[in-house]
Amino acid sequence: MRTIPRESPAIKYLAINGTVEAGYEPVAEAFADNFRRRRERGAACTIYHRGQKVVDIWAGTRCHRSEAEWERETLSLVFSVTKGMAAAAMAVAHGKGYFELDAPVADYWPEFGTAGKSSITVRQLMSHQAGVITIDRPVTPQDLADHDRMGRWLAQQEPLWKPGQYHGYHTFTLGWYQNELIRRTDPQGRTLGQFFDAEIARPLDADFYIGLPESVPDHQISRTHGYHKIKALAHLNELPPGMIAAGIWPRSLTARSVKFMRLGDPATLADPKFRRVEIPSAGGFGQARAVARIYDVLARGGQELGLDGKTFGELCRPATMPERGSRDVVLKLNVGYGFGFSKPSDGFQFGSDEAAFGCPGAGGCFAMADPSTELAFAYLTNTMSFRIFDDPRERAVREAMYRCAGASTLNHTRAA
């Protein structure tokens, strides 16, 4: 690993900081090109290959208003990339024998078994098939801080479709259901954020938080530049048309999956009132090197986190499809899920084969593990686009990674 030389073409027009292993310079070139051609303002990217960190770079500003520079220790809001970190916590809990994937959730959380949910399995829940995508009341940060209250509300929800028949993106709720499973099966009764911190973040020295502690100073946190949801109407070419159309109708599944949070701008999740509480599906803060480090361990079997072959096999298993096929009734796309992660699918191709797993984050973030090539990738940005995944910025860097690693990929290289 070496520091990027000042004469590198990658920094001719931009100060890229960090280190790149020899042979991975095209990744830095693609990263720099994002700032030159794709309106990137602040970002970081880390890549591991076969257990070695081969790229760790960052550039731009952590705050567009003050133009303060993105620094090595900058933490960024990662939106649904957090789902991957929550899923990693669930994998560790599964490895410890806390639950079985094909057992009913109600075996571990009896109150969950009401309102038509008694037969929902853990596998169905973590594959977005349970139909519990909303909470039938507005939810405030104060509510989110009260785990017992949230647990009662979640247990009362009725599925919005027959569990196992369809899948639909549990935009916010998945993480809170996972939290209740952890609280009820962990002998110490920890929350998901506490469990993640103790069992994953600290052992791997990974700066990632589900519930940002007050000890983290404001100057270390990147300011995410978001948008009001109305502006999405001017970017229909970047979003699934069916999702936009459904989102306009307040009673649609798409609208109901998010409206109880009352967020006019997704970047509101970075406000202090939200970042201090646990939102395991969308509110994590961390560094690209932390996310990539965790995916690196998972890509190589997870032994450092106590995973056994059974749990690793579940991570690598192809997407768990519902009875009615791959059409997501919330996103209105053909996608795949498994164990809380997104999986390669016709609608979103990534990795070299079906063993890959990861999670995109709203507006351009993405992180993944590719066990077959032992690659781990994380791209974080504070400049939101209107993409829900496969953003041209992260995709350009990801495709450069595969070329440098000499590995094939499910992605076909496309002009960004």
The answer to whether residues 95 and 305 touch, using CB atoms and an 8 Å cutoff, is yes
Burial call 355-382: b when 16+ CB within 10 Å, e when fewer: bbbbbbbbbbbbbbbbbbbbbbbbbbbb
In a domain, 413, yes or no: no
The pLDDT-based confidence of 240 (bands split at 50, 70, 90) is low
Pinpoint the alpha helices (H) of 38-116.
81-95
- In the chain, % of residues over pLDDT 70: 89
What's the average model confidence in pLDDT over 357-382? 97
Question: What pLDDT digit, counting tens, does each position of 339-352 carry?
Answer: 999 999 999 999 99
pLDDT of residue 4: 58
Average pLDDT, stretch 60-76?
Answer: 95
Domain for residue 415, yes or no?
no
The CA angle 166-124-248, to the nearest 5 degrees, is 40
Instruction: Please check the confidence at residue 3 and state whether its pLDDT lies above 60.
Output: no
pLDDT tens track for 15-48: 899 999 999 999 999 999 999 999 999 999 999 9
State percent of the chain over pLDDT 90.
84
- pLDDT exceeds 80 at position 63: yes
Give the 3-state secondary structure of residue 317.
coil
Residue 21 belongs to domain with CATH number = 3.40.710.10
Q: Quick one: pLDDT at residue 248? A: 64
Residue 289 lies in a domain: yes
Domain count, the chain: 1
Q: Quick check: is 414 in a domain?
A: no
Q: Is 411 domain-assigned?
A: no
3-state secondary structure of 22: coil
Strand partners, 375: 49, 370
Segment 91-147, tens digit of pLDDT: 999 999 999 999 999 999 999 999 999 999 999 999 999 999 999 999 999 999 999
From the list 317, 336, 314, the residue with the least C-alpha distance to 325 is: 336
pLDDT band at 404 (very low <50, low <70, confident <90, very high): very high
| Structural domain includes residue 296 | yes
Q: What's the pTM?
A: 0.93
Residue range of the domain that includes 326: 2-405
Using pLDDT thresholds of 50, 70 and 90, give the confidence band for residue 2.
Answer: low
The tokens describing 69, both together, are: 């520079």
Q: How far is CA 324 from CA 56, 361, 415, in A?
A: 42, 26, 33
- Close Cβ partners of 135 (under 8 Å, ≥ 6 residues apart): 153, 154, 157, 173, 260
Q: How far apart are CA 290 and CA 225, in angstroms?
A: 22
Q: Give per-residue pLDDT as tens, 206-225.
A: 999 999 999 999 999 999 98
Tokens in use for 111? 């109150």
Cα 154 from Cα 403, distance rounded (Å): 45
Residue 160 resides in a domain: yes
Instruction: With respect to residue 24, please indicate whether it lies within any of the assigned structural domains.
Output: yes
